[in-house]
Each structure stands twice: as C-alpha cells, then as structure tokens.
Amino acid sequence: MTTPLVLINLALKKTGVIGVGQTALAEDVNDAFTELNMMLSQWNRKRWLIYHLLDLAIVSTAAISYSVGSGGDINTPRPDRLEFAYYRQLQSQTPPNQVDFPLQILESREDYSRIRLKELQAISQYVFYDAGFPLGYVYPWPVLPANEYELHIGVKAQLSQFATLADDFDFPPEYELAIVYNLCARLRPSYQLPPDPSITALALDALNTIRNANAQVPRLRMPSNLIRPALYNIFSDQNY
C-alpha cells in the first residue's frame, strides 16, 4: 500500500540521502513530509496538475456576493480562481429541463469596479471572483433575484494534503512517480546536493505525463462583438 512514508523513503533513496537497507532519521522524514505537503499546495494552483473540476452551486438570495471557502456560503476549500460559471433558471422549469446560461468571468477587481450600478437586480451576465483569504467572494452581476436562480461556479478540485505519514495515497496512479521525483529535486538543496540532471529529467517527464492526462482544451470561441453579420457574395448569390 502506498503511503506518504513510502514515497518519502523512495525520494530519499533516489536522491542519495539514504542507501539500500538504511532507515531515514525521523527529522529527515518529518522535513520531507512538510516539503511534500507544501509541494501539493503549489500543485493545487496549477490547472494542468488537477484531474477534475468541481461544479458548485448556491440558490440565489439577492445578495451582491457569496463567500467561497471552508465554512462559507459555498463550503469548499478556498479556490484561487473560477474556471467557469453559469446560472440555472429554477422558476417555471421542471427538472431535468432547467436551462443554464453561461456567465462571462471578469478577471480583475479593476474590471468589476468599472460597473456603475453594482446592486442592479436582473439577469446576470458577468461574474467576478475576489480571491480573498481565508474566504473568497463571488459577485454575480447584475444581482440574481432571490430564489429564482441557482448560481454555479467551476473550481479546481484539491489534491488533498496528507495528515499523517500513514495516510492512504488517494491520487491517480500517475501521480506517484511525479511526487517521488519532484520531491527528490526539492530535497537535494536541503542536503547541499547539486541538481541531478537525471532526476530533473524524470521529474519533468512525470509532470508531462500528468499534463497529457489532464489536458482539456476548450473549443475556440470568438467574442460576440467581433462576429460580423453575414456578407453577401454577388458572384455566388450566397451569404457567408
């Protein structure tokens, strides 16, 4: 069974800190365990290292914003950004025939601040996410009327940090080597060891395997205001 302790011992062996048949010192294991969880925290912010997106929802309450994070209105680990967003019409619609409407994501506070009437209640067109800490806040605009709509946001699932050295490894199998070799590369400076080209190459190869497995490229779409109306061709008598 794979556990953090197994991965750490492999990383310490491959980086040359311990040899075959040797046992790592408790201090070395604990430091590596801390480094492992810190590495996973960084991986959680990289879309191509995340194998799944979560679709989270909240029924509108006519609030100007909803908190997102542990214990928030949308109770989930705090995301760093939105990957997609839409709202679902609840009134006059019977499941499973409820209609969804995509929302455009405003990527910055500067864009949201340019909206003049921020508390306008109507059908939402945009959404802004303020990645505060410990709670973020999502701002649909215009504000959705209470109980008539359901706001949906898409966020990256979290690679769970390990609580103990004996925790089960609950990741897709391709993450094992990626964790081992990238942990090797991160541990070497702690022992004043220079970079090892073979470890660096194996770490990159393992990450590229995950990148290829997780790659999801959305279809290219042009902004609606850039699409020209149909043009008439006088030679073919057709519109293009």
How is residue 108 annotated by DSSP? Answer: S
CB of 50 within 8 A of CB of 159? yes
CB of 204 within 8 A of CB of 212? no
- Segments making up each domain of the chain, as ranges: 4-48+159-214, 53-156
- The pLDDT tens digits for 37-60 are 999 999 999 999 999 999 999 999
- The pLDDT tens digits for 88-127 are 998 777 777 788 999 999 999 999 999 999 999 999 999 9
Hey, which CATH number is domain 4-48+159-214, 1.10.540.10, 3.90.1580.10, 1.10.3230.20, 3.30.1370.10? 1.10.3230.20
Distance of CA 151 to the CA centre of its chain: 18
Tokens of 29: 């294991």
- Checking phi first, is residue 16 left (phi over 0); if not, alpha (psi -120 to 50) or beta? left
Helices marked H in the chain? 4-14, 26-43, 109-113, 175-187, 197-214
Q: What is the pTM of this model?
A: 0.84
